[in-house]
Amino acid sequence: GRRQIQQKMEEARRTRDLALERMEKAARRFKQEVIWGGSTQTAHILSLTMVELAEKLKEGSLSPESVLYSYMGKVKALEVTREVNCVVDFIHGCEDQLQKLKKQKEKGLLYGIPVSIKDHINCKGHVSSGGMVKFLGQVKEEDSVVVQVLKSQGAIPFVKTNIPQTMINYDCSNLIFGQTLNPLNHQKSPGGSSGGEGALIAGGGSILGIGSDVAGSIRLPSSFCGLCGLKPTGNRISTSPSACSDRTFVLAVAGMLGPMARDVDSLALCMKALLCEEMFRLDPTLPPLPFDEQVYTSSKPLRIGYYEGDGYFQPSPSMKRAVQQTRKLLQDAGHTLVPFAPPKIDYVVDELFTRGIFSDGAAHMVDCFKGDIVDPNLKSQYNTYRLPALVKKILAIILKPIVSVWTFQLSAKNLWDQHGAVEVYRTEFIAKWRKLRLDVILCPALGPAFNHGYAGKLFAATSYTNLYNVLNFPAGVVPVSTVTRADEEELKHYRGHYGDPWDQRLKEAVEGAVGLPVAVQCVALPWQEELCLRFMKEVETLAH
């Protein structure tokens, strides 16, 4: 059985390699068939921001072909994929999409923009593996709604990117396609679960990517790779039809799709393009809320709540400094900063989030591994999930609150109570927000990038991001600084809140990161993505 699994993995890798060869040949063929400006023209195209690129494509000074094949060439010829192993498939239909673009009467907002897509998001004619053998060979018959809308706006999805096995880990490794590396430092993880997106965009191989986020899976790779990323409110962007790997666990926590890019304006342009009549037509379960440009471009001073630590995991020195420096920049720019502390954060992480993401005690996820081999980076998590119920209960008593999920019993009543508890907490959180008359919140983003192998041992360190999945608030990250030698020196004295093995692991995870990016997180109330992005833009402008 193990040999059969390995044969399927090898076949998937061969298919991936053939797809990348096809992509390389397509890029080479284009350069041979047209009058090409060589490396100078490629460098010019790759140097443009997405907004600049969109403008040049729309006015006709650049062609969609030249842009697409420049990025194709970058993915292969300049060895982003060879160096960091981030692409798992070439979306060969992108060349047909190019021809269709020429026939469109109107140029959409993303006309000619190449877009990379996270592995589990369905693309017609391709597999959504979830990093698992059981899903290999299941070729999708239609594009997901988000891919259809991207195409209707003129975008060209051209590659699919790597993820961790099951996507319930914020590293980026699976036994089919291997470990993705951080392009800024190969000893570091790119984060996850949208780690392939993070690595590809940070390495210059894509200008816009679509990821997904259940515990920080857009925000963590954005933080680790020095990118901007937005987790919208659940159901602001369609997740239909669900990719196979979305069903590997039962959720009482909101998961959603969102954009990743090099700057905030790119995120805003993507959201503006997605929040259109076509998306609301294809998925009528969405609230028909178009992008509010007036909110995004507003210059009204903001009342900003902030916190430097959440009281659950002590921030690394660079995380704390990033918030402190950003707070001062915002104050000096005329905004009002108000101290804020998330209520009952231990309860949120140990009860609402952990039990919410594994509402069935992780039983369904364990079942998914039948006929598969567990990735080493996931083994510590997997081994705890599959323990007998009695052993889980005994260990939960000893180790509570770290593993309170182990005692959770699957029942309709428990799931009902879980949803009710989340609503009560959300009401309490919003009441505190309203009492302080806040517009937005500034808080840490987990970082800097972890050393390989630590993400699977520090699931609870996602407290800074998973809080806003529980609350279902829009949240984004923006890089504002880099790790200094002073940060690294201060890290030597890091003990954490409890001085326990998990705190020690966090210290080890972030060691050796001088020069790597450090981000902050920006948060708004539900359905206020435009305000969240406006705040992110303000932070980006002041920091850079």
Please enumerate, by residue number, every residue annotated as part of a binding site: 167, 193, 214-217
Say whether 124 is catalytic: no
Which residues, 6 or more positions from 165, have their beta carbon under 8 angstroms from its beta carbon? 130, 131, 132, 173, 174, 175, 374, 375, 377, 378
505: Cβ contacts below 8 Å, ≥ 6 apart = 454, 457, 458
Residue that has been written with the tokens 């949120």 in this structure: 348
- Asked if residues 179 and 158 have their Cβ atoms less than 8 Å apart, the reply is no
Q: How far is CA 19 from CA 87, 198, 418, in A?
A: 10, 21, 44
Integer Cα distance of 12 and 89 in angstroms? 10
User: Which residues are within 8 A (CB) of 60 and not within 5 positions of it... i.e. 6 or more apart?
Assistant: none
**Which one of the listed residues 206, 217, 238, 463 is annotated catalytic?**
217
The rounded distance, in Å, linking the Cα atoms of 126 and 243 is 11
Of the residues 193, 316, 359, 463, only one is catalytic, namely 193
Burial class (CB in 10 A: 0-12, 13-18, 19+), 522: buried
Please confirm whether the linkage preceding 193 is cis (ω < 30° from 0). yes
Q: Which two tokens stand for residue 43?
A: 């460098």
DSSP secondary structure letter of residue 400: T
Which H or E element spans position 397?
helix 389-399
Give the active site residue among 118, 272, 392, 457: 118
Compute the distance between CA of residue 530 and CA of residue 536 in angstroms, rounded to an integer: 10
C-alpha–C-alpha distance, residues 256 and 267, integer Å: 15
Contact between 532 and 524 (Cβ < 8 Å): yes
Instruction: Report the C-alpha gap between 197 and 161 in whole angstroms.
Output: 6
Cβ neighbour number for residue 501 with a 10 Å cutoff? 11
**Total count of residues recorded for the chain:** 544
For the question of residue 193 being annotated catalytic, the response is yes
Q: Annotated catalytic, 217? A: yes
Active site residues: 118, 193, 217
